[in-house]
């Protein structure tokens, strides 16, 4: 450091440049997306939710983190069919009755044919060993897939937290919580 | 065969379609030590492309793939 041939000013300048670079690298590290998958599950269709769970569990198998944000038609699917929500107003009751209560009640987005198509698809899935939505949900929980539920959708349709499924890593939240995850995720999907 | 590759554990994943073979193998490989080899047997044709993709991404290594009719055997070394 005390080499007389190097002027003190030059060393000072180098030091400040290095400090600047360090800050820049730290900043870039923060912006670098992490090995994470963030997914919006908007659909309440059986086939689309199945695809969402296949991708989420696959992501964990690939060593990624996975977050699923259930919103709008996706929210009623996370209701527990065994739980009773208690008294509600008329419109909430109607929504509650008309929307699928739990993963067992969802229908195909195409070829439902008044329910026949969904029944056929389920029996075909069983025959071909394709995991059911219930099994995929259990697998997702076991693998540590995080589930976020849109508070606004629940409020809109009159769902209460007490009637939602028991799931290890479930968070009732808004869009900001999801965006915080999505912002730093390498993959973002809308299903 | 056995003097070629020392297999620590065998996973029977026959009859399972996507995503289960990859999900199961990613869990199963964590039950052996780093450096150990597991054998995974599948019948899902998709696993022929899925297993190498999974191995590349998760940092493990497929050291051998045997195919006999519909049955596919992967020998995977745990590297991470």
Asked whether residue B2 is assigned to any structural domain, the reply reads no
**What is the Cα–Cα distance from A2 to A11, expressed in whole angstroms?**
10
Cβ atoms within 10 Å of B76's Cβ, excluding its own? 26
Q: What is the largest CA-CA distance in chain A?
A: 90
Q: Are residues A157 and A93 in the same domain?
A: yes
Kindly tell me the sign of the dihedral angle through the C-alpha atoms of A160, A55, A52, B70.
Answer: negative
Q: Tell me whether 0.95 is exceeded by the ipTM.
A: no
Cβ atoms within 10 Å of A60's Cβ, excluding its own? 22
Q: Are residues A103 and A183 in the same domain?
A: yes
Which helix (H) or strand (E) is A186 found in, with range? strand A185-190
Share of chain B above pLDDT 90, in %: 89
Asked whether residue B1 is assigned to any structural domain, the reply reads no
**What is the Cα–Cα distance from A176 to A167, expressed in whole angstroms?**
21
Mean pLDDT of B9-16: 95
Q: Are residues A25 and A106 in the same domain?
A: no
Name the burial class of residue B39, with classes exposed (0-12), middle (13-18) and buried (19+) by CB atoms within 10 angstroms of its CB. Answer: middle
pLDDT at A71: 96
* B4: pLDDT strictly greater than 80: no
Kindly tell me the sign of the dihedral angle through the C-alpha atoms of B48, A125, A109, A39.
Answer: negative
Q: Are residues A49 and A78 in the same domain?
A: yes
Task: Give the total number of structural domains in chain A.
Answer: 2
Asked whether residue B72 is assigned to any structural domain, the reply reads yes
Pick the residue of B17, B20, B55 with the most A CBs within 10 A to test the interface with A by mutation: B20
Q: What are phi and psi of A188, to 5 degrees?
A: -130, 130
* B2: pLDDT strictly greater than 50: no
Q: Encode pLDDT of B51-79 as tens digits.
A: 999 999 999 999 999 999 999 999 999 99
Look up the CATH number of the domain holding residue B36. Answer: 3.30.110.40
Annotate B12-75 with DSSP letters as a single string.
Answer: EETT--TTHHHHHHHHHGGGS-TT-EEEEEE--TTHHHHHHHHHHHHT-EEEEEEEETTEEEEE
- With beta carbons less than 8 A apart as the criterion, state whether A136 and A66 touch: no
Q: Are residues A126 and A142 in the same domain?
A: yes
Q: Are residues A40 and A16 in the same domain?
A: no
Please answer yes or no on whether B20 and A62 come within 8 Å at the CB atom.
no
B18 noted as active-site residue: yes
> What is the span of the domain harbouring residue A17?
1-32
pLDDT at A6: 81
Interface of B with A (CB under 8 A): 15-20, 22-23, 25-27, 53-54, 57-59
Query: Of A62, A129, A130, which has the smallest distance from its Cβ to B57's Cβ?
Result: A62
Per run of 10 residues, the mean pLDDT along chain A (length 191 residues) is 77 93 88 91 97 97 96 96 90 91 94 94 94 96 96 93 95 92 94 97
- Determine contact: A103 vs chain B, CB below 8 A: no
pLDDT at A167: 97
**What is the Cα–Cα distance from B41 to B16, expressed in whole angstroms?**
10
Look up the CATH number of the domain holding residue A94. Answer: 3.40.1260.10
């Amino acid at each position: 450091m005390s080499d007389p041939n190097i002027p003190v000013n030059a060393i000072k300048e180098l030091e400040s440049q290095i400090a600047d670079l360090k800050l820049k690298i730290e900043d870039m590290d923060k912006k670098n997306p992490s090995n994470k998958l963030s997914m919006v599950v908007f659909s309440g269709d059986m086939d689309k939710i199945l695809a969402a769970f296949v991708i989420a569990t696959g992501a964990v198998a690939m060593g990624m983190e996975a977050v699923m944000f259930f919103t709008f038609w996706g929210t009623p699917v996370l209701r527990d069919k065994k739980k009773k929500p208690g008294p509600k107003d008329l419109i909430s009751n109607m929504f509650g009755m008309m929307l699928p209560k739990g993963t067992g009640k969802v229908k195909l987005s195409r070829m439902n044919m008044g329910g026949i198509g969904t029944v056929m698809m389920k029996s075909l899935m069983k025959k071909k060993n394709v995991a059911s939505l219930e099994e995929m949900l259990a697998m997702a929980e076991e693998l540590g897939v995080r589930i976020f539920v849109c508070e606004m959708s629940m409020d809109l349709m009159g769902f209460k937290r007490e009637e939602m499924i028991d799931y290890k890593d479930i968070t009732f939240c808004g869009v900001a919580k999801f965006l915080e995850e999505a912002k730093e995720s390498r993959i973002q999907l809308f299903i | 065969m056995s003097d070629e590759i020392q297999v620590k554990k065998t996973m029977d994943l026959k009859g399972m379609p996507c995503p289960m073979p990859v999900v199961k193998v990613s869990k199963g490989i964590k039950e052996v030590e780093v450096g150990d080899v597991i054998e995974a047997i599948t019948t899902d044709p998709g696993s022929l492309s899925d297993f190498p993709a999974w191995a590349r991404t998760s940092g493990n290594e497929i050291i051998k793939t045997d195919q006999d009719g519909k049955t596919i055997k992967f020998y995977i070394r745990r590297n991470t």
